[in-house]
Structure 1
């Protein structure tokens, strides 16, 4: 088998996570996209995306980086810099705008669910959440 066929198969498997996903609580819609060989996930919708007036976008006020606290939450990257290797998207980070914390993270496809395991230190000490592919709008 030629190297290009193997590389194309690897890329096809890696790109299976591309598209829109709903968080386990169904309170966020995230688009996973690819830039170069890395995967990212940006916030498209959230039940808490706007202030009580329903028009003003909420800001990233909990961010540990004070220079980012004025940015709108819409399109903020929640998943950052994942690299695919043998069925796992690894070496990435997950940002939680509610706490302002960033966690190490591993992503795996489990049947039709996306398992996102965030952790500090070791994956065994982390927590998994399961996202479902979103239906087209």
Structure 2
């Protein structure tokens, strides 16, 4: 009887831990909601960041690399969009990633963000908040 109870406990423990999310489950490359960029989410220190690693249209009509021309900081307007961090400082709370920032290069604006993985870990819901405006977008794992 004891061995049967021990086996049942072990099976329940396996079921419980199987569905848990690990902090690094968010890492990897994601296709954004507009399908015009790939963002690589990586861990640095205890937080998570996301940088642009591919753009559908990386160059201007003149053939020059697109730059961060709408950035409110004048000295950053000449940096290339490719490779910049657009997500910063997401921290894992055991289920979701919270207290981060997202930078929107097309607008030159920064907003608060949080993220949540789907159960199959192939979709990422990014929740973006600026003042009283809030929206969610869904990215797809590549």
Does residue 44 (structure 1) correspond to residue 44 (structure 2)? The answer is no
CA shift, 1:47, in A, is 2.1
CA shift, 1:121, in A, is 3.4
Q: Specify which of 2, 22, 27 is matched with residue 18 of structure 1.
A: 27
CA shift, 1:53, in A, is 4.2
Q: Specify which of 118, 126, 131 is matched with residue 110 of structure 1.
A: 118
| Count of aligned residue pairs for this structure pair | 120
Structure-2 residue corresponding to 1:3:
none
Structure-2 residue corresponding to 1:94:
102
CA deviation digits over 1:52-100, x for unaligned, max 9?
244x211100001111101011101010111100211111100000000
Higher CA-based Rg: 2
1: distance between equivalents of 2:108 and 2:62? 23
What's the TM-score, normalizing by structure 2?
Answer: 0.79
Q: Specify which of 123, 137, 140 is matched with residue 129 of structure 1.
A: 137
Matches for 1:45-60 after TM superposition, within 5 Å: 45-54=54-63, 56-60=64-68
Structure-2 residue corresponding to 1:70:
78
2: distance between equivalents of 1:130 and 1:34? 20
Structure-2 residue corresponding to 1:79:
87
Query: What secondary structure, in the 3-state scheme, does the structure 2 residue paired with 1:50 have?
Result: coil
1: distance between equivalents of 2:29 and 2:123? 12
What's the TM-score, normalizing by structure 1?
Answer: 0.82
**What are structure 2's unaligned runs of at least 5 residues?**
1-20
1: distance between equivalents of 2:131 and 2:114? 12
